[in-house]
Structure 1
Amino acid sequence: MKIRVRLFAGIAETIQLRELTLNVPVGTSILQLRHHLMEQYPQASQEIAQAMMAINRSYADDGATLHEGDEIGIIPPVSGGDALPSCVISAHPLDVAQAFHQLESVHHGGTVLFVGTVREWTRGRQTSHLEYEAYTDMALAQMKKIEDDVKAMYPDVWTLQWHRIGRLLPSEIAVICAASAPHRADAFAASRMLIDRLKKEVPIWKKEFYANGETTWKSNPEAAREPEEG
């Protein structure tokens, strides 16, 4: 049977098509169509996995069945609920649920999220709050390099690195590094690589404010430059 598929926004831009006419088997479901499009257009697979679907201009779930002549809309998140980039420096709170949703895929069997939060007590000292500062342009460029290196090692992995800047209170989320993959071993390895390299290589600093009024800039020993001999 023949159906019409309409594409919008970033998905249409990535695929460079606004409309497809497809012949699909009778009884094809939205989920089966989603799988087919992800396989045909791997460059847009993540966006297609996260998109809403509509049949004849009404939202439909993955179990809905298609019929001859149906118009299917592939709808990315609308304005106000847009997906964030994979590399983010943000002055706003980070959302774990949003991070998980962005990495969901029917082709992935494992998603690993590392969530770094602000501790209230460190070595017996009470922290009132932290302030994070970043060399933002360089930080984003370095995060993208880390992402590219991880994906070169694990080609089927999707990743994200989100980091807060500004004032954070105890228990607030400072960083999310996450990876999803067809198999859990790759998701675990990629997530660990993301946070380890971010902590070492990305120019983000934190200033600790203690309850007794003292303050200190905290360095990451892993990121320190080795002194030259001689």
Structure 2
Amino acid sequence: MNIKIALFAGLADRIGASSLDFAYPQPELQQVTATQLKEALAAAYPAASTLIDASFVAVNQEYAAGDAVITEHDEVALIPPVSGGENAAEDGESQAEGDLYVITEEPISAEEVSRKVITPAHGASLAFIGTTREWTEGRRTVHLEYEAYVPMALAKLRQIGAELGEKWPGTRCAISHRIGRVGLAEISVVIAVSAPHRDSCYEASRYAIERLKQIVPIWKKEIWEDGSEWKGHGLGPWNPSVPGTYSSVR
């Protein structure tokens, strides 16, 4: 059985390819589990085994449990810890749902993203703006590079918007995220939220930021004067399959 697997960020660097046509070592099998696939990949690529073990398998653009069944007809990706559809338009943007959720290689306007959520029915709006910081733990960053599994990233951004609507009814959300090179003080992400009242607006904005870091397959590479490194999730054990709860991210 041959399984085509998309790879990203540090995992692609470690293995030396952005995708694999992986021949599962038991060719007579017609299906395997996500756990079995990771074990076979770790055995085939021992230098990347630690990162493979920390990664999640995505099947058809959804995070898969260890016992999830995979066939050679599925769209499979191996998702390393994240930082943080194929709808790429000719102008370099990928967008969905009336442009509420955008992944783009172009500069982002915070004002433009904020305008998407402002409505006469709401009395509060907030915009979280993430920018490239020059100094981190004594090392000078020259610029950042972002990579995304674009179709799944857009689906997860839409999921965040749906979760906000369930937890804080009436909330409106728009998220734009850069990919590619992002220079110092340039905007990498804008998360705009509006709500009828300020309390729910503050809470929903914080929730959206933390969920983006938890479940959206976007990776950040820090480029320093003397080297570079892919940065993954930095908030403890990474498990994107866990449902989001506000109490867990406060």
**What TM bracket, shorter-length normalisation?**
0.5 to 0.7
The corresponding residue for 1:135 is 149
Whether 1:168 and 2:182 are equivalent positions in the alignment is: yes
The corresponding residue for 2:173 is 159
The corresponding residue for 2:233 is 220
The corresponding residue for 1:89 is 103
Larger Cα-atom Rg = 1
Aligned counterparts of 1:207 and 1:224: Cα–Cα separation in 2: 20
TM-score (norm 1): 0.59
Once the two structures are superposed, what CA deviation does each residue of 1:147-204 show, in whole Å capped at 9, x if it has no partner? Answer: 1111111121110111100001010001111210110111111111111000111000
Secondary structure class of the residue paired with 1:221: coil
User: Against the structure 1 CA distance between its residues 193 and 225, is the aligned structure 2 distance closer, same or farther, given a 3 Å change threshold?
Assistant: closer
CA RMSD of aligned residues (A): 1.9
Aligned counterparts of 1:162 and 1:97: Cα–Cα separation in 2: 12
The corresponding residue for 2:219 is 205
Where in structure 1 are there 5+ consecutive unaligned residues?
1-82
Aligned counterparts of 1:151 and 1:208: Cα–Cα separation in 2: 34
- How much does 1:86 deviate? 1.3
| Structure 1 residue identity aligned to 2:147 | E
Aligned counterparts of 1:84 and 1:132: Cα–Cα separation in 2: 24
| Structure 2 residue identity aligned to 1:218 | K
Identity %: 41
Aligned counterparts of 1:164 and 1:156: Cα–Cα separation in 2: 27
Secondary structure class of the residue paired with 1:103: coil
Secondary structure class of the residue paired with 1:131: strand
- How much does 1:221 deviate? 2.5
The corresponding residue for 1:192 is 206
Once the two structures are superposed, what CA deviation does each residue of 1:66-109 show, in whole Å capped at 9, x if it has no partner? Answer: xxxxxxxxxxxxxxxxx961111111111011112222212211
Aligned to 2:192, which of 178, 182, 206? 178
Secondary structure class of the residue paired with 2:121: coil
After the TM superposition, which residues 11-90 of structure 1 pair with which residues of structure 2 at under 5 Å, given as runs? Answer: 85-90=99-104
- How much does 1:111 deviate? 0.4
- How much does 1:222 deviate? 3.0
User: Against the structure 1 CA distance between its residues 166 and 84, is the aligned structure 2 distance closer, same or farther, given a 3 Å change threshold?
Assistant: farther
